[in-house]
Amino acid sequence: MKTSNCFIFLILLLFSCNREQEANRFTIHGQFSNSRREKIVLCEMDLKEVISLDSSNIGNDGKINFSHKPDQPGFYFLTFPGGRRIILLMKRGENLLLKGDLKEPSSDFTLSGSEGSELLEGFFHATLKNKIRIDSVKRALLSKEGSEDFLRFSMTADSLFFRISGDQKKLEKEFIDRNPQSLASLIVLNYSFGPKPVLTMEEDLSYYQKLTGLYRIYPKNKHVLFHLARVSLFMNNLKNPKN
């Protein structure tokens, strides 16, 4: 009887340890069609560098798995052959399921199991539509190069570029307004839709200040602390401008 009770206790202890280990890690399960056993790399986006964490080849069944134990919620991305990559926001205990077709580079991935990653994927999907609009105007402008009405069309193109940039700024502001407590908003805030971020501290300071509230939720997160330092430095420079 004592032996039986001891065995049950060990089983429960082992089960409890496994549950605790799972709670301290996040996992990524990929399921891809039309794969050729491509090599996928999992990287972490640190403050000033990209850190390669793990890599693996997709199995014959189209599946791939990653697991990582993060100190804090953070930003990661998976890189695929040809330069394609997907940005993720992962935290402990999350189990992300990622599905996609690797035959078509422009096809969408579907995500589930990670709220932050799903938010980012939705943002990038909407941003892609604006990028397509920009590329369409650029192609049309190039087709008019050297023609008699190039100057007139270039003025129209500038107006279209301005309108699309305005739509992108609206998209980013609305995202942050809806998700001020999500770290995903830091990615959106610093997203570059061209040579510089769409939202700048000079023109959109209120949105930078809004996300300093993340400190109350993530007081030890390095991305939040970095954001706080940037905003604080900017505010100090406003109060004490250099001659």
Output the pLDDT for position 106: 62
Structure tokens at 242: 């250099």
For residue 89, give the nearest of 26, 31, 47 by alpha carbon: 26
Q: How are beta strands 26-33 and 63-68 bridged, if at all?
A: antiparallel
**Quick one: average pLDDT of 173-182?**
97
Place of tokens 């369409």: 136
Range in 134-143, 170-179, 221-230 the model is least confident about: 134-143
Read off the DSSP letter of residue 58: P
Name the band, by pLDDT with cuts 50, 70 and 90, for residue 35: confident
- Close Cβ partners of 53 (under 8 Å, ≥ 6 residues apart): 42, 43, 44, 66, 68, 76
Query: Is the per-residue pLDDT at 18 higher than 70?
Result: no
This prediction has a pTM of 0.85
Query: Is the per-residue pLDDT at 7 higher than 60?
Result: no
Output the pLDDT for position 145: 81
Read off the DSSP letter of residue 216: G
- Close Cβ partners of 169 (under 8 Å, ≥ 6 residues apart): 198, 199, 204
HEC profile of 85-136: EEEEEECCCCEEEEEEECCCCCCCCEEECCHHHHHHHHHHHHHHHHHHHHHH
**Quick one: average pLDDT of 191-199?**
84
Using CA atoms, how far apart are residues 226 and 161, in angstroms rounded to an integer?
32
Name the band, by pLDDT with cuts 50, 70 and 90, for residue 210: very high
- CATH fourth-level superfamily of 26-113: Carboxypeptidase-like, regulatory domain (2.60.40.1120)
Name the band, by pLDDT with cuts 50, 70 and 90, for residue 6: low
Range in 4-13, 20-29, 158-167 the model is least confident about: 4-13
Q: How are beta strands 39-45 and 50-57 bridged, if at all?
A: antiparallel
Query: Is the per-residue pLDDT at 230 higher than 50?
Result: yes
Query: Is the per-residue pLDDT at 20 higher than 50?
Result: no
Output the pLDDT for position 5: 58
Are the CB atoms for 59 and 127 separated by under 8 Å? no
Read off the DSSP letter of residue 242: -
**Quick one: average pLDDT of 34-48?**
91
Output the pLDDT for position 158: 87
Name the band, by pLDDT with cuts 50, 70 and 90, for residue 107: low
Query: Is the per-residue pLDDT at 204 higher than 90?
Result: yes
Structure tokens at 106: 């422009």
Domain ranges of the chain: 26-113, 121-239
Query: Is the per-residue pLDDT at 238 higher than 70?
Result: yes
Q: How are beta strands 26-33 and 50-57 bridged, if at all?
A: unpaired
Using CA atoms, how far apart are residues 141 and 143, in angstroms rounded to an integer?
5
Output the pLDDT for position 199: 94
Output the pLDDT for position 208: 97
Structure tokens at 184: 């995903």
The per-residue pLDDT for range 125-146, each reduced to its tens digit, is 999 999 999 889 888 888 888 7
Calculate the average pLDDT of the chain.
87
